[in-house]
Homo-oligomer: A and B are copies of this chain.
Amino acid sequence: MSRKNACSAEEAAGREVCTVLDVLGRVSGKWSLGVLSETTRGPVRFAELERSLNGISRRILTLTLRQLEENGLLTRTVYPTVPPKVEYTATDQARELYARLTGLTAWAARHSAAAPHADAP
């Protein structure tokens, strides 16, 4: 979960790059996109995410959720029930961003290249 991105220097034209870097930094975690994918479909509980994202550890899941929340991409709702219940939902901003990101698959489709094997009809 990369946090800091001061965009320390680069050149003048780098302002744009800097912004892009910042945006990508907000979903930089290995599982961030997976979490967004799940939470975009509707409210999801912690344990659900833990199962959906097969292989993620509790710690990383927590950190990822916190990061996304900090960046205004996730809404955390706590139900003060006796066994705790917490739901996470993607914000509108997150949905927009996620849409733009999945839009990259269009690019990937047009250039299936460089892939280890690929398919190619």
Query: Interface on A for B, CB 8 Å cutoff?
Result: 8-11, 13-14, 16-17, 19-24, 26, 33-34, 37-38, 41, 52-55, 70-72, 93, 96-97, 100-105, 107-108, 110-111, 113-115
Quote the shortest CB–CB distance from A102 to chain B (angstroms).
5
Q: How far is the CA of A113 from the CA of B34 in the complex (A)?
A: 22
Quote the shortest CB–CB distance from A28 to chain B (angstroms).
9
Q: How many copies does the complex hold?
A: 2
A55 touching B22 by the CB < 8 A rule? no
Q: How far is the CA of A26 from the CA of B111 in the complex (A)?
A: 13
Q: Pick the most buried of A8, A10, A26: most chain B CB atoms within 10 A of its CB.
A: A10
Q: How far is the CA of A16 from the CA of B22 in the complex (A)?
A: 22
A13-B37, A16-B102, A20-B105 known, 18 other contacts, Cβ within 8 Å: A8-B54, A8-B55, A10-B53, A10-B55, A11-B54, A14-B37, A16-B37, A16-B105, A17-B33, A20-B102, A21-B33, A22-B115, A23-B107, A26-B114, A72-B111, A93-B111, A96-B107, A97-B104
